[in-house]
Amino acid sequence: SDSPTAMVRILPDDLTQRRPGCPFDPAPGLERRRNGGQVQPLPLLNGAEAFLVTGFDAARAVLADPRFSSDRFRHRDATHLRPDEVAELAASSRQAEPAQTQPRTDGMFIFMDPPEHTRLRRLLTGQFTVKRMKELEPRLTQIAVERIEAMRSKGTEADLVPEYTLPVPSLMICELLGVDYADREEFQHNTAVGLNLNSSGEERAKASGALYAFIQRLVADKQRHPADDLLSGLIHDADPPLTDGQLVDMTLVLLGAGHETTANMLGLGTLALLEHPEQLAALRADPSLIDNTVEELLRYLSIVQLGVTRVAKEPVTVDGVDIPAGATVVIATPEVNRDPRFFPEPDRFDLRRSRSPHLAFGHGVHQCLGQQLARIEMRIGFQELITRLPSLRLATPAEHVPLRNDMLIFGVHALPVTWS
């Protein structure tokens, strides 16, 4: 597979696996700033050179600096090898040149640099404005309410992940893009294989192939039968027109980024609220706290644990540390968002905290394109859940909730709840 997530295979476990009983706190390996500098060497399992950024200033500096590239393929070093390449490298004791592979990245703008990135991203920004998202609110509310009523009609307990936290954002991104939600098996499962840290190269290749073929069929279908959706708009409005490869890639980025992320914020966020009953009570008592709650949950949970990485195109010094050309820099978002100089008492979940400048959506030219959509999904998703199910509580001890320690994006695999 050419999945960039393959790099995680060579990251030590303590960077992705949170402590048992502490599902909201950064994985122990990310906490090194507390004893050292903002930028620290990151020993990778294959011996390659990388750096971990755990301080807020340094993270912002890296993400605003054009000397750091998002193009992990063109500028990648040994930290971005596919698992089979890693095995090859490990087999030879010398630092051999990796086999040159040419992954297909026509329209994967999340892995591109300006000016190519700028052109593709600009085609989408008009679809994700605050105003455009406001227009989606009634439909989003309807989706959330329908899912809650469906759960209620079946009894007084449910697993919130398949019944609520995954379908709400999935349905929304499907409608926006023009994907038939009935086909969700095709993209939900294959996306999850790509994000699973334990997937083999073969499993990844199979899943990404299936996903690519699925989107290819969708693009071909929209080319013949345009509708009132984002994908049809991209096909007909881009000037010069996008290639088929670009259309497929851009749809893949949006579909993937558009459901796994918010789904896990809703799942882990609900667990966090249930585990902080005094905070939940405050939110119930004053619904105007919801926007603040969403921002605090984004900061406190930081579910995109290691997804924001860059490669140095030339030697760069950050916070006094020399980073050589070709080295990978991993932004430790969960730890960055607990920098005590920016967030007093950073380990405390406090939904009254004044609006925090967290980096949960990244920073710079790649800052999350879907952040306004994510915000309304969380605002409506949490609000409807807690008001329509006022007696909501866990149906299992919190320590039995299965955590996504095996996934690139953190969260819960299941969330058994009950209500009366």
Report the interface residues with ligand HEM, using CB under 6 A: 70, 109-110, 121, 173, 253-254, 257-258, 261-262, 265, 303-304, 307-308, 360-362, 366, 368-370, 373-374
Record the tokens describing residue 406, joined without a space.
Answer: 């095996």
Q: Which is nearer to ligand HEM, 48 or 177 (CB)?
A: 177
CB of 93 to ligand HEM, least distance (A): 33
Query: Residue-wise over 113-146: b if at least 16 C-beta within 10 A, else e?
Result: beeebeebbebbeebbeeeebeebeeebeebbee
- Give the CA dihedral 243, 249, 250, 251, nearest 10 degrees: 110
CB of 163 to ligand HEM, least distance (A): 19
CB of 284 to ligand HEM, least distance (A): 22
> By the 8 A CB rule, do 343 and 298 touch?
no
* Burial class of 394 by CB neighbour count within 10 A (0 to 12, 13 to 18, 19+): middle
Rounded to a whole number of angstroms, the distance between the first and last alpha carbons of the chain is 47
Q: Which is nearer to ligand HEM, 24 or 89 (CB)?
A: 24
CB of 191 to ligand HEM, least distance (A): 13
Q: Which is nearer to ligand HEM, 81 or 110 (CB)?
A: 110
How many helices and strands (H and E) does the chain possess? 14, 10
If phi over 0 gives left and psi between -120 and 50 gives alpha, with beta otherwise, what is residue 123? alpha
Q: Which is nearer to ligand HEM, 32 or 379 (CB)?
A: 379
Q: Which is nearer to ligand HEM, 89 or 211 (CB)?
A: 211
Q: Which is nearer to ligand HEM, 89 or 173 (CB)?
A: 173
Instruction: State the Cα–Cα distance between residues 5 and 12, nearest whole angstrom.
Output: 14
The single residue listed with the structure tokens 């007696």 is: 391
Nearest to 170 by CA among 303, 234, 260: 260
CB of 291 to ligand HEM, least distance (A): 14
Instruction: State the Cα–Cα distance between residues 11 and 30, nearest whole angstrom.
Output: 12
Instruction: State the Cα–Cα distance between residues 256 and 187, nearest whole angstrom.
Output: 8
What residues are paired with 51 via a beta bridge? 41, 329
Q: Which is nearer to ligand HEM, 50 or 89 (CB)?
A: 50
Length of the chain: 420
Phi, psi for residue 25 in degrees, rounded to 5: -95, 155
Q: Which is nearer to ligand HEM, 89 or 375 (CB)?
A: 375
Q: Which is nearer to ligand HEM, 174 or 283 (CB)?
A: 174
> By the 8 A CB rule, do 350 and 280 touch?
no
Nearest to 334 by CA among 27, 41, 63, 39: 27
DSSP label of 19: P
CB of 89 to ligand HEM, least distance (A): 25
> By the 8 A CB rule, do 377 and 258 touch?
no
Q: Which is nearer to ligand HEM, 173 or 403 (CB)?
A: 173
CB of 174 to ligand HEM, least distance (A): 11
CB of 179 to ligand HEM, least distance (A): 12
CB of 362 to ligand HEM, least distance (A): 3
Neighbour tally for 213: CB within 10 Å: 13
CB of 144 to ligand HEM, least distance (A): 15
Q: Which is nearer to ligand HEM, 89 or 164 (CB)?
A: 164
Nearest residue to ligand HEM, by Cβ distance, number only = 370
CB of 19 to ligand HEM, least distance (A): 21
> By the 8 A CB rule, do 240 and 208 touch?
no
